[in-house]
Structure 1
Amino acid sequence: MAPPGRVDVVTDHWPLQRQACEACLTDLPQAPGLPGVAGAPDFVAHEVTELPVIHPRITEHRLHRLAWPSCGTRTRASLAAGVPTGSFGPRVQATVAMPGGRFRLSRRETSGVMGHVTGVPISIGSVDALCQATGEALAPVTAALVATLPSAPLLHADGTRWPHDGRHWWLWMVRSAQATVFVLSPSRGGRVIRELTLADYHGVVTSDRYAGSNWLDQAFRQLCWAHLARNVEGLVTRGGDGTHIGVWARSLIRSLFADWSAFVEDRISLRTSQRRTRQMQSGFGELLTQGTLSA
C-alpha cells in the first residue's frame, strides 16, 4: 500500500445500493455525516495505480523583430536565458538517454518508445544527438566520481562484453561503496582499469581471474568468490584425495556468506560479523596448509 502522502485521490464507496444488512436484513445506517452513524471508520482499502495521459507540452517562442525609429534598422529578439536552443527540453533529453544508457535499447527502438509511449515524435538522428549531448553534460560528474576511487579502501573491478555500433566492445566497471563508474571501450586490455586511477591504488581490489587484472598487487587482490566457489565444487565433484578439502572449503564459504547475509539483514552486529570472519580466515589458512601438504 502507498503511504498516505502518495495517494492522490480517495473515493469512498458505501453499501447504499443494498439498503438491508446481509445478516439480519435490517436497514443499514446512512453514510458518515448523516444521522445514524457512530464509531470509527471501518473500510478495506483497494488501491489502483494509473498513469496520467501523457500530453507533451509544446512552447512556441516567437522572436519578434522591430524597426528602430532612429535608424530604421530591424532587430530581432533573442531567446531568453534558460530556453533550449534545440527542439527539445531537458526532461525529453533525459528521457531519451535512459532507454539506451540503462536498458540497452537501440536508437531506433528509443525513437519508437518516445513516439508511442510519451507522444514525442523524434527522429533517430535527434535521439543520437541528445544521447551525445547527455554524455557531454555528464562528463564532469563522471570525472568527479572517478576522482573518489583512489581514496576508497575497497574496490570492485570487472569487465563484460557489450554490443556497440554493431561490434563487440567492453563495458568496464569500477565500484566503491560511494560510486560506480562505467567505461565503454573497444579494448579488453587492463589499461582501461589502470586509467581509472587504479595504477597507483593501494587498497584491496576484488576482481575475477582475467589476465588483464594480473598487474594488480596480489597481496591486495581479492578473487571473486563465485570463481573460488566453482573451483571448490570442482574439487568436490572430481573425487579423490582432494574431496575432503573441497567439502571443508565449501562449508566455510557457505558460512561466510550466511554471516554476511545476517549482517546485511541486521540479524547480527558488525562486531559479530568481523569476529566470525576472522575465525573463518584462520579456518581457510589451515585448509590451505593441509591442501598444500596433501597435493
Structure 2
Amino acid sequence: MSGYFDDIQFIAGEEIPNCRVHVDRSFPGIYSFELILDGRMYFAVDGQKEEKILTAPTVHWHHPSHHYRYGPVDEKRGWHHLYLTFHGPRGRRIVENALMREEKRHFQTLTNVMEVLEGIRWLIAWINHGDLHRHPEAVARFELVVAQFTTGSEQRLQHRHELELREVIRTIHESPLLTPDAQSWAASMNLSPSHFRKIFREYTGMPFHTYCLRARMRHCAQLLARHPGYRIYEIAEMAGYQDPAQFSKLFRHYIGLSPRTYQHHLLRNRDHGSG
C-alpha cells in the first residue's frame, strides 16, 4: 500500500538567473510550479494568438493537458526563473484545485514574494541534494508554499484595505500559534469586528477563524514533519490545546489524517528512505 506522501514525486528543480529559453510544447504527465522573480516573458496557452506579457513577480504552472508557448520579451536580458516539476495524483490536485481553481488560469501575480521564494529555494536545494528520507517534509513545505501563494491572489489586490489585510495574513503565518483576535485587528483598522470578519472573508475566501485554524494545523503538520519523534499531546499543548482529542479532531479536519496516522506515515517514509 502506498504511503500518504507517495502520491506526489518531485522530478526536478532549478534556479536560472538569466533564462532565455523559448518553449512551444506540452508536458505529458508532468506538472510544474514556476516563479518569475525578475524580468518579463511572453506567455500563451493552447494556441492563443494574443500573448500575455508576464512581469515579475508572477507564478505560472504547467498542466499536462495543455500546450504552452513562452519565452523572453528581451532576448538579451531574459528573466530570473525558478521552477519545480512533479507528478502524481497529489500534484494534479494541487494544480487543478489550488492553483487553477475555477478560473482555469495558468499564471498569477504574486504579492507575498519572500515567503514563496524561500519555500521554492528550499525545495530546489532538497531535490538536487537527494535526501530521500526528507520527502514527507518536502511535501509539507510545498503545500505550505502553495497555501502562501494562494493567499496573494491577484483578484484581491484592488481591495481598499489590502495593506492592512496583508499584514494580518503575514502575522497569522509567522505566528500561527497565537490566539486569533479579530477584535484587536478590527480596532487597529478602525472597523467593527463584524465588518472586519466580512472583508477578511472577501479577501481570503474563508472566515477569519477558519483561516487561523488552517494555518495553525498546517504549522503543526510541519512540526511533525520536522520532528516526527514528538508525541501528539506535546504538539497539542504547543498549539494551545489541553485536550488531545479536540486537537486530533481539528488536525484531521484540516490535514485529512489524524495526527497519529500522519506521524505513522512520516516515520514509515523516513525508515524507508534511510534503509
TM-score under structure 1 length normalisation:
0.23
Structure number with greater CO (CA < 8 Å, separation at least 6) is: 2
Select the structure that is richer in helix: 2
Pair member with larger Rg: 1
Select the structure that is richer in strand: 2
